[in-house]
Amino acid sequence: MISGDYAVSVERLTKRFGRFTAVDNVSFDIVRGEIFGLLGANGAGKTTTIRMLAGLLKPSSGRGTVAGFDINRDYEKIKRRIGYMSQKFSLYEDLTVYENIRFFGGVYGLTGKQIRERFEEIASHIGLSGLMERRTDGLPPGIRQRLALANAILHRPLVLFLDEPTSGVDPIMRRQFWDIINSIAADGMAVLVTTHYMDEAEYCNNLMVMRDGKKVATGSPGELKKQFHVSSIEEVFVSTEMGKR
């Protein structure tokens, strides 16, 4: 049953590339304000799942909604209501921090005034104050990550997709990044995040573990640990991977 209360709701989502099935009959829901973590080894189907939800890739079968719109039909409407931060933090290297902000704000259809006001609102919170004039290519990874996040939430999306947002960033910056994500979710945005860092999985409200395109486990971090009789999400993950052998 697909309800308007869900920020994301998918049923039997499937993506085939030729004869290969990258995402296989996956169903899950995410409510507003929830941080939902997608875990899985390389090639498990996480990015493909996000791309279908973000209106970038057409599902082979299955149905669902994102921000209340049909993923099979309304992808243009979905694109305007979501934020997407890809693994590679797509930034314009030869532009300054603020020029990047202005560019992405323009892509989302915001006026110059709206972009300025929104940037003022989020800059100190995200830790970008005083960096407006800095060229992007000289910034450390943790700051680039924050700029990519700022770009993704400028237009106040209802759902935020973060695809390995913390890879290559030091532990302190990663921790601070999660504090920011928590406050974004507390404001009501739904967040779907993929990560390879199992300690980060503990910060999520709910998790789904994927293997070979399939959902192999789901629940809150506490529920999963109970279900697998282990004391860490790392062990849950290892158990699901061992199931393969």
Q: Which is nearer to ligand ATP, 136 or 240 (CB)?
A: 240
Q: Total binding residues for ligand ATP by CB under 6 A?
A: 11
Q: Does 13 bind ligand ATP (CB under 6 A)?
A: no
Judged by CB under 6 A, the residue of 5, 17, 106, 220 near ligand ATP is 17
Which DSSP state fits 226? Answer: H
Min CB(218)–ligand ATP separation in Å: 16
Judged by CB under 6 A, the residue of 36, 46, 181, 209 near ligand ATP is 46
Pairing of strands 6-17, 61-66: antiparallel
Close Cβ partners of 45 (under 8 Å, ≥ 6 residues apart): 15, 22, 23, 24, 26, 210, 212, 213, 214
Judged by CB under 6 A, the residue of 37, 40, 62, 221 near ligand ATP is 40
Task: Pull the structure tokens for residue 57.
Answer: 């890739």
Q: Does 112 bind ligand ATP (CB under 6 A)?
A: no
Which DSSP state fits 113? Answer: H
Min CB(166)–ligand ATP separation in Å: 13
Judged by CB under 6 A, the residue of 45, 55, 62, 157 near ligand ATP is 45
Q: Does 42 bind ligand ATP (CB under 6 A)?
A: yes
Residue 17, burial from CB neighbour count under 10 angstroms (0-12, 13-18, 19+): exposed
Give the interface segment with ligand ATP, choosing from 43-51, 113-121, 128-136, 233-241 (CB under 6 A).
43-51
Ordered alpha helix ranges (H), the chain: 46-53, 75-81, 97-107, 112-126, 141-153, 171-186, 198-201, 221-228, 233-242
Which residues contact ligand ATP (rule: CB under 6 A)? 17, 20, 22, 40, 42-48
